[in-house]
Amino acid sequence: MENVLVFGATGQTGSYLSELLIERGYKVIGVSRRSSTNNTQRLSSLLENSNFELVEGDVTDCFCIANLLAVYKPTQVYNMAAQSHVATSFKQPALTWDITAGGCLNILEAIRTVSPTTRFYQASSSEMFGKNFSKKYRASRKLGLIAKGPIEVAHLECEEFKYQDENTAFMPQSPYAIAKLAAHHLVRNYRESYGIFACSGILFNHESPRRGEQFVTRKITKWIGDFINWTEVQKKSLDGFEYQLSDNDNVLSTKNHDLALVPTFPKLRLGNLDAKRDWGHAKDYANAIVMMMHGETPDDYVVSTQETHTVREFLELAFAHAGLGDYKDYVVVDQKFFRPAEVDFLLGDSSKIRKTLEWSPETSFQELVKQMVDSDIEQAKKR
């Protein structure tokens, strides 16, 4: 049985990836950094599996990586490890750089020196595109500026090309995205210089019930689950309990009770609701990653659903599915959650992986939202 090494196995996508690789007949060595609290919840289905082993390791420690390669002799290494929160990268840029860029370099160097035939996957990101769009978009914008004819025509063409693909130039907008871009170039450089089988998947946003609680989709669905659970608990303890949607932007106050005496629930505080993202399901994206690593030649691929939605649309669907009505009654826009620089619009053209490797996503945006809301309502009950 072949060993494969997964850095970042405790994370959202690393956990789905580990499950999939075991299904495919591999022994998965999941690498997890030491933590003072338990961070293996996402691996609960694997911890007792004899084809899964969780070992200690950190991508910032090059000796530790070389040692893992020497001991386990993996045929494939997946680097899912990162400081992956964009807003945090503005607050902790050096740490983000060390883990997200330096970590990738450490693994590539260990492969080059210890195990050069081992295949390598790097988790690149659509954040690397930042503010940029396809070559065609930029060309038609230029055309629009000099066009003698009706400007609307040029504008229309322009909007049609507003997407990102493998040929789109990068214009990263955060320390996270810049670190990911450095890693992305290192992968290409090691592939071309040393002939290492190294692939980068330029993955657009992918979510699931296992998504970290600070990312916007999960923050929304977790709030919904907690709020619904709170109302259920209040109904049991307060006769005739009904909640009231107050103008106060901090709380939802209860109806017919003295505010000073009854419990209240903080509204959901969010930042930019107009940002557009191409959101897919992490399970579908884990599948794309495995396909890339089993291709004939190493390459870089964009992975996306080819649909884009605003944070606002996610809110509308999630609140409607939970039966709560208009999200505007529950949400407060808070400057605290705006970023020093924003990526406004992401929409991936994933034709290359669809054509070359015959990958396509199975979960729709609507289904993804429903799955996340339902899961958080269930989980809140258990809490």
Strands (E), the chain: 3-7, 27-32, 52-56, 76-79, 119-125, 198-203, 206-207, 251-252, 265-266, 268-270, 276-277, 280-281, 300-303, 309-310, 331-333
Options 124, 125, 134, 174, the catalytic residue: 125
Stretch that binds ligand NDP, among 81-89, 240-248, 290-298, 360-368 (CB under 6 A): 81-89
Size of the site for ligand NDP (CB under 6 A): 25
Nearer to ligand GDR, 31 or 275 (CB): 275
Percent composition of the chain: helix, strand, coil (DSSP 3-state, to 5): 45, 15, 40
- Which positions from 88 through 127 interact with ligand NDP, judged by CB under 6 A? 99, 123, 125
309 binds ligand NDP (CB under 6 A): no
Stretch that binds ligand NDP, among 200-208, 328-336, 341-349, 362-370 (CB under 6 A): 200-208
342 binds ligand NDP (CB under 6 A): no
The token pair that represents 163 in the structure block: 């997407």
CA-nearest of 251, 269, 273 to 260 is 251
CA-nearest of 271, 254, 270 to 262 is 254
**12-51 footprint of ligand NDP as x/- string (CB under 6 A):** xxx------------------x-x---x------------
Count Cβ neighbours within 10 Å for each residue of 101-139 and write b for 16 or more, e otherwise: bbbbbbbbebbbeebeebbbbbbbbbbbbbebbbebbee
CB of 203 to ligand NDP, least distance (A): 4
**Cβ neighbour number for residue 278 with a 10 Å cutoff:** 26
Nearer to ligand GDR, 112 or 269 (CB): 269
Binds ligand NDP by CB under 6 A, chosen from 96, 140, 205, 253: 205
Stretch that binds ligand NDP, among 10-18, 238-246, 289-297, 324-332 (CB under 6 A): 10-18
Residue 163 a catalytic site member: no
Residue 127 a catalytic site member: yes
CB of 147 to ligand NDP, least distance (A): 36
Reduce the DSSP state of residue 259 to 3 states and report it: coil
Catalytic residues: 125, 127, 176
Binding positions for ligand NDP, rule: CB under 6 A: 7-8, 10-14, 33, 35, 39, 58-60, 80-84, 99, 123, 125, 203, 205-206, 212
